[in-house]
Structure 1
Amino acid sequence: MTLKFASLGSGSKGNGTLVASGGDCLLVDCGFTIKETERRMARLGVSPADLSAILVTHEHSDHLSGVAPLARKYGLPIYLTPGTLRARDLGKLPRTHLIEGYQPFAVADIQVTPVAVPHDAREAAQFVFRSRASSLGLLTDLGTVTPHIESHFGDCDALVLEANHDPQMLAQGPYPAPLKRRVGGAYGHLSNQQAAGFLRRVGAEQLQHLVVAHISEKNNTLELARKALADVSEQVANCLFACQQQGFGWLEIEPRG
Structure 2
Amino acid sequence: MRFASLGSGSGGNGLVIEAGATRVLMDCGFGLADSQARLARLGLQASDLAGIVVTHEHSDHIGGVGRLARKHKLPVWLTAGTLVMAQDLDGVAVQVIDSHAAFAVDGLEIQPFPVPHDAREPVQYVFGDGNRRLGVLTDTGSDTLHIEAMLAGVDALVLECNHDAAMLENGPYPASLKRRVGGRFGHLENGQSAALLDKLKHDKLQCVMAAHVSHKNNTAALAQRALARVLNCADDDVRVACQTAGFNWITL
Secondary structure of the structure 1 residue equivalent to 2:238: strand
CA drift at 1:204 = 4.3
Secondary structure at the aligned position of 1:138 is classed as strand
CA offsets, 1:96-121, max 9 Å, x none?
11012421100001001001000000
Shift of 1:132: 2.1
Give the conservation status (yes or no) of the 8 Å contact 2:210–2:224.
no
Asked if the contact 1:14–1:62 (Cα under 8 Å) also holds between the matched residues in 2, the reply is: yes
Residue 65 of structure 1 is aligned with which of 47, 63, 67? Answer: 63
**Whole-angstrom distance in 2 between the partners of 1:214 and 1:114:** 19
Q: Which residue number in structure 2 is paired with residue 146 of structure 1?
A: 144
List per-residue Cα deviations over 1:124-162 (Å, max 9, x = no partner): 000001102100001100001101000011210001000
Equivalent-residue separation in structure 1 for 2:117 and 2:74 (angstroms): 27
Using the alignment, how far apart are the partners of 2:121 and 2:4 within structure 1? 25
2:165 corresponds to: 167
Maintained 8 Å contact 2:109/2:128: yes
Report the aligned-residue RMSD.
Answer: 1.3
TM-score (norm 1): 0.94
Is the 2:99–2:114 contact (alpha carbons within 8 Å) kept by the matching residues of 1? no
* 1:153-182 per-position Cα deviation (integer Å, ceiling 9, x unaligned): 121000100000000000010111111000
Report deviation, 1:26.
0.3
Alignment-derived partner of residue 118 in structure 1: 116
Alignment-mate amino acid for residue 148 of structure 1: H
Q: Which shifted more, 198-207 or 172-181?
A: 198-207
Relative distance call for 1:91 and 1:154 in structure 2 (3 A) is closer
Gap runs ≥5 in structure 1: none
Task: Give CA deviations for 1:200-233 in whole Å, capped at 9, x if unaligned.
Answer: 1222432111111000000001121122222223
Identity of aligned residues (%): 49
TM-score between both structures, scaled by the size of structure 2: 0.96
86-95 vs 171-180, which deviates more?
86-95
CA distance in 1, matches of 2:119, 2:231: 30
SS at match of 1:19: strand
Instruction: String of CA shifts for 1:74-109, please: whole Å, max 9, x gaps.
Output: 000000000000012324133111012421100001
Match for residue 22 of structure 1? 20
Counterpart CA distance in 1 for 2:176 and 2:213 is 20
Change in CA separation of 1:101 and 1:218 when aligned onto 2, cut-off 3 Å: closer
Q: Which residue of 1 aligns with 2:228?
A: 230
Question: 2:248 matched to which residue of 1?
Answer: 249
| Aligned partners of 1:29 and 1:63 also within 8 Å | yes
- Secondary structure of 1:183's partner? helix
2:135 paired residue number: 137
Aligned counterparts of 1:250 and 1:209: Cα–Cα separation in 2? 12
For residue 238 of structure 2, what is the amino acid of its counterpart?
C
